[in-house]
């Protein structure tokens, strides 16, 4: 027999919170489920038009959305605007894909008509982090909706504004009520209630490995399909024959873009040893040109600001040397605004934590290499495998290295040429499934094969 708990016991409080979270999620999931058949069976032109209207509306409301997102993230306005335009592009792109064939006819036997169809899952749960709030929500919601699903999305508690705004404007643009729902609250209660809900048939999660693992354990029990977009420690390999000035500015963009608060940051720089000092000097110079509040945003949360400073201590304790940075920004007032100086560590070896763990800040670890094989080996000596880069004038080598890097996407002679058309996702601990591109539609739908027996009369 279970002893009744004393009232006021912390466990009571926790149970009450979990119960409340489950109720909130249950209401949203039921709203969604009730709208599922209507949305799924709407003519593709009608579904596409609504998604296109949402795209246009995001652009029309850009200033308001930027203001909302800036209030929660402190991002410089042009950077926030670019991400939000990206959010509109997700809706525009997937609006244009609703007319794609959803299956094929297969030649199996003369007396069988065999065909395949892609069907939506039904209710899709989307859980997003705080680093690119609207952009990340749109990245999952747009293809999920285009594939005929209904969605329950939970933004990070710290950055809810633009996701709520998205759901509102979507309804105003003709999305039937219930098709896109937002639930708010902590991940540990509301987030996990989404993953546990029996009517949720697919979850797309963007965030940390730790939480990805927790979700994965629940999903294993439920046989729930997941898309996991997790972290990275991506390597950018620079050979001596590259255009070094351009490679240096790209290497800096790679680790300072979004102030390093992006999973696809290039946070390991692998440099051919004979140009190491010369190249690091160029990188340091370019890094020092990143002006806080202009090219460089702040750390979005206090916790992230603390985390970066923690890694400064870790790197120094392990023997890495800061060629620039390694402290919080020195200018008065900058630390209060959570700005961090772009930081370049040299003297790094692959076993150091600064070379292995994701910092999620503008912090670069530089590692020298002698040969192409060694460069690839260092690049792949990572639990992660999200993106990678290679800078070289040797086109054959570029192709070889691009294939050899264990990562979901590789950039050659420029960093982070990402766009909505390009499938995005991880190898190894960076996750599985794919967002973006036509491929995402395959992850927001399930295949059915139908065979019809057609004997001759």
What does the binding site for ligand NAP look like in residue numbers (CB under 6 A)?
127-131, 154, 156-157, 186-188, 191-192, 195, 206-208, 211, 214-215, 229-231, 263, 358, 360, 431
By beta-carbon proximity to ligand NAP, the closer residue of 28 and 242 is: 28
**For residues 410 and 375, is the Cβ–Cβ distance under 8 A?**
no
Nearer to ligand NAP by C-beta: 292 or 426? 426
Is-catalytic flag, 263?
A: yes
**Residues near 452 by Cβ (< 8 Å), separated by ≥ 6?**
112, 113, 114
> C-beta of 191: minimal distance to ligand NAP in Å?
2
Biggest alpha carbon–alpha carbon distance for the chain: 88
Among the listed residues 89, 229, 272, 358, the single catalytic one is 229
Shortest distance, position 195 Cβ to ligand NAP, whole Å: 6
Q: Which two tokens stand for residue 54?
A: 């949402």
Sort 65 into a burial class: Cβ within 10 Å, 0-12 / 13-18 / 19+. buried
Q: Which is nearer to ligand NAP, 204 or 320 (CB)?
A: 204
Q: Nearer to ligand NAP by C-beta: 120 or 431?
A: 431
- Residue 168, SS3 per DSSP: helix
Q: Which of 263, 341, 372, 435 is catalytic?
A: 263
In the chain the first and final C-alpha atoms are separated, in Å, by 68
| DSSP type of residue 295 | T
Strand partners, 360: none
Rounded CA gap, 310 and 339, in Å?
Answer: 15
Phi-psi region of 338 (alpha: psi -120 to 50; beta: other; left: phi over 0): left
Closest CA to 236 of 251, 226, 224: 251
How near is the Cβ of 31 to ligand NAP at its closest, in Å? 20
Contact call for residues 349 and 361 (beta carbons, < 8 A): no
Nearer CB in complex with ligand NAP: 213/454 = 213
Least Å from the CB of residue 356 to ligand NAP: 14
Q: How far is the CB of 154 from ligand NAP (least distance, A)?
A: 6
Residue 141 is among the residues annotated as catalytic for this protein: no
Catalytic site residues?
229, 263
């Amino acid at each position: 027999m279970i002893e009744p708990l004393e009232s006021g016991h912390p466990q009571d409080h926790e149970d009450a919170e979990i119960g409340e979270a489950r109720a909130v999620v249950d209401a949203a999931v039921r709203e969604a489920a009730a709208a599922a058949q209507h949305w799924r069976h709407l003519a593709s032109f009608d579904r596409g038009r609504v998604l296109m209207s949402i795209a246009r509306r995001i652009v029309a409301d850009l200033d308001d959305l930027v203001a909302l997102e800036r209030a929660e993230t402190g991002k410089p306005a042009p950077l926030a605007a670019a991400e939000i335009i990206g959010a509109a592009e997700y809706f525009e792109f997937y609006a244009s894909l609703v007319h794609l064939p959803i299956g094929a006819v297969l030649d199996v036997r003369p007396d069988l008509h065999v065909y395949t169809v892609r069907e939506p899952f039904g209710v899709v749960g989307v859980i997003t982090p705080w680093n690119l709030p609207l952009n990340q929500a749109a990245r999952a919601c747009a293809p999920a909706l285009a594939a005929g699903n209904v969605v329950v999305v939970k933004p990070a508690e710290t950055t809810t504004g633009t996701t709520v705004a998205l759901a509102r404007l979507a309804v105003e643009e003709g999305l039937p009520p219930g098709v896109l729902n937002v639930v708010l609250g902590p991940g540990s209660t509301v987030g996990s209630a989404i993953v546990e809900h029996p009517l949720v048939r697919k979850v797309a999660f963007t965030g940390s490995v730790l939480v990805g693992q927790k979700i994965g354990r629940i999903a294993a029990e439920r046989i729930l399909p997941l898309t996991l977009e997790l972290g990275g420690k991506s390597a950018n390999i620079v050979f001596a024959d590259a255009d070094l000035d351009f490679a240096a500015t790209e290497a800096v963009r790679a680790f300072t873009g979004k102030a390093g608060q992006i999973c696809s940051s290039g946070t390991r720089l692998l440099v051919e040893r004979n140009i190491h000092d010369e190249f690091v000097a160029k990188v340091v110079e370019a890094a020092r040109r990143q002006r806080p509040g202009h090219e460089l945003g702040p750390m979005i949360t206090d916790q992230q600001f603390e985390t970066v400073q923690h890694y400064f201590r870790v790197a120094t304790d392990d023997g890495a040397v800061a060629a620039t940075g390694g402290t919080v920004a020195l200018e008065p007032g900058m630390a209060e605004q959570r700005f961090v100086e772009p930081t370049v560590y040299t003297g790094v070896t692959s076993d150091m934590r600064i070379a292995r763990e994701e910092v999620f800040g503008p912090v670069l670890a530089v590692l020298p290499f002698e040969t192409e094989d060694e460069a690839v080996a260092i690049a792949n000596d990572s639990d992660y495998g999200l993106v990678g880069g290679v800078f070289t004038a040797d086109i054959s080598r570029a192709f070889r290295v691009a294939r050899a890097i264990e990562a979901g996407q590789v950039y050659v002679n420029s960093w982070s040429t990402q766009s909505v058309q390009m499938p995005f996702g991880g190898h190894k601990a960076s996750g599985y499934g794919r967002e973006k591109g036509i491929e995402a539609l395959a992850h927001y739908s399930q295949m059915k094969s139908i065979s019809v027996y057609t004997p001759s009369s």
